[in-house]
Structure 1
Amino acid sequence: MVQVVQASQLTLHDVETKFGLGFESSEDFFPEWQVAPLALDDYQTRVLDQAQASFRYLLAYPVHEELVKMVVISPLLSVAGFYQRPFRPIAEETTEVAIKNDDELIRGRVDILVLNDQIWVATIEAKGPQFSWHVGLPQALTYMVSGAQPTNIRFGLVTNGTDLVFIKLAKETGQYGLSKTFSIFNPGNELHTVVAVLKTLGTNP
């Protein structure tokens, strides 16, 4: 009998063991996130600055995961051009991955996918600010492993609203790496650099 396991129940150890993944800390493994902020126009700058200011304000109150998507992720995708051709965002997409020899099926719902001709440019997993971004890492990796896109290299983004971390996965080798932690509390507005990374991933799916 096949046992169904929810992706949200998996720990990072579970994910690394089940899928044969290993963390790669070399800077050479994940150069795609190491980009400079783009020259944004006045409107784009205002959108990102407002997103940062709004989320900082909301943190004085209980913040649900849906607000992370609305206040932080949606402006990022808009400024990055992911609401326009050739991209197509999909929210709450169900994904499944079967574990060989374990009679186990892992099932979950990806918060947001951004597709470009059926290639997943980014898998975005959002959590509330009461959680560390680490909580979303096992789920994001599970979705990246399970995706049917033809590319070996896959990218993801996990955020709790205050911190944002990019993920790179080489599916053939099982290696994955992480970007630095971008934060809305760091000096300036690092959402500008996050947009630059998203655009880089969009042009190199």
Structure 2
Amino acid sequence: MKTLAVTDTITTIAEAEKRFNLTRNQSPDFFTEWYDQLPELNNDDIKNLTTLWQRYIYHRSGGHLLESTVILLLVSPLLTIAGLYDPPFRIKAEESIQIIVADSEETLQGRIDILVLKERLWIIVVESKKTMLSVWSALPQTLAYLMANANQNYPIFAMLTNGDDIVFVKLEVACQVLRKIAVMV
């Protein structure tokens, strides 16, 4: 069996769709989690988000930011505000994954930037890129990482960011055959 790096193998959305038999679902009813029944932001949340934005803009005004800087300035504080560092959640950084590709002699290998778990259930995968790259460049890689989730009985979510843009992704396996993805900006 040949082992390949996800970042070298899955470089386009079309490649991810083909290799993992994914289909896009553009129905507005598919990804309601990103806007439906969300809690109201309180004054502290608004203050923290404003500070986060101002801090990011200050550093970004000096030029492009590396991926690690985007994580420090933006991703980590957002996880804090969302309460994802607190029980019942667990955080794993640079989590190694392997995906055995069906009908193939290939194993794909990679590292998820940040994985948020609730027991064995993957809650969210966070993938970051440096600011000079399009946030969309992280989507093929992220789709591959989502396919490594052993518990595909529940939808799994991802957040992609380069600091300038944030994209939310939902992947759902229906009947263990049809895989759907929706991307909302």
Question: In angstroms, what is the RMSD of aligned CA positions?
Answer: 1.6
CA shift in 2, pair 1:99/1:150, >3 Å:
closer
1:109-188 map, 5 Å? 109-171=111-173, 172=176, 173-179=178-184, 181=185
The correspondence of residues 24-173 of structure 1 with structure 2, limited to 5 A, is: 24-35=25-36, 38-60=39-61, 61-171=63-173, 172=176, 173=178
Deviation digits for residues 41-86 of structure 1 (CA, Å, limit 9, x no counterpart) = 4433222112111212222323100111111111111011111100
Identity of aligned residues (%): 31
Q: Is the 8 A contact 1:92 1:112 kept in 2?
A: yes
C-alpha deviation, 1:149, in angstroms? 2.5
TM-score by length of 1: 0.82
Which structure shows the higher helix fraction?
1
Q: Cα offset for 1:24?
A: 1.0
Larger mean CA deviation between 144-153 and 63-72 belongs to: 144-153
Question: Deviations 1:1-50 (Å, cap 9, x if unpaired)?
Answer: x2222111212122111100011111111111124764334433222112
- Cα deviation, 1:76-122, whole Å, max 9, x if unaligned, reads 11011111100011100000101123211110000000001111110
SS of residue in 2 equivalent to 1:47:
helix
2:151 maps to a residue whose letter is Q
AA at the equivalent of 1:5: L
Whole-angstrom distance in 2 between the partners of 1:8 and 1:25: 26
Range moving further from structure 2, 90-99 or 145-154? 145-154
Runs of 4+ in 1 over 3 A off after TM superposition: 35-43
Tell me the secondary structure at the aligned position of residue 26 of structure 1: coil
Instruction: Decide which moves more: 35-44 or 14-23.
Output: 35-44
Q: Relative to 1, partners in 2 of residues 1:86 and 1:57: Cα closer, same or farther, differing over 3 Å?
A: same
1:115-154 per-residue CA deviation (whole Å, 9 max, x = no partner) reads 0111111011111111111100011111111111253311
Q: Unpaired segments of 5 or more residues in structure 2? A: none
| Contact 2:152/2:172, CA 8 A, preserved across alignment | no
- Give the TM-score normalised by the residue count of structure 2: 0.90
